[in-house]
Amino acid sequence: MATDRFTRFADFYPFYLGEHSNPTCRRLHFIGSTLVLVCLFKLVATGSLAWLLYALLCGYGFAWVGHFFFEKNRPATFKYPLYSLMGDWVMYADIWRGRVKF
């Protein structure tokens, strides 16, 4: 399945969740995504573009630590950048809703 080219997000998301089976990796994604939201709020509040850089560092930094050190796989971002970004936010919402274990 990982070698298939996904044409629909609905087909990609189960694969995405499988790439995030380690609880620590999911938690790092959640922390990174929360910090991205904080940085974007600060960007809007201050108008300082530095917050955009901080958002990218938080989002990718926490996620990639989770993948390389805990999940021990390559982030889906490298092969499926748009679906991976969408998956991050759907998983984030699913964690809040209790659909994905935290």
Sequence spans of domains, the chain:
9-97
- Encode pLDDT of 29-67 as tens digits: 999 999 999 999 999 999 999 999 999 999 999 999 999
Per-residue pLDDT band at 1 (split at 50, 70, 90): very low
pTM confidence score? 0.92
Contact 56, 101 (CB under 8 A): no
Return the sign of the alpha-carbon dihedral for residues 91, 22, 102, 68.
negative
Rounded Cα distance between 31 and 8, Å, is 27
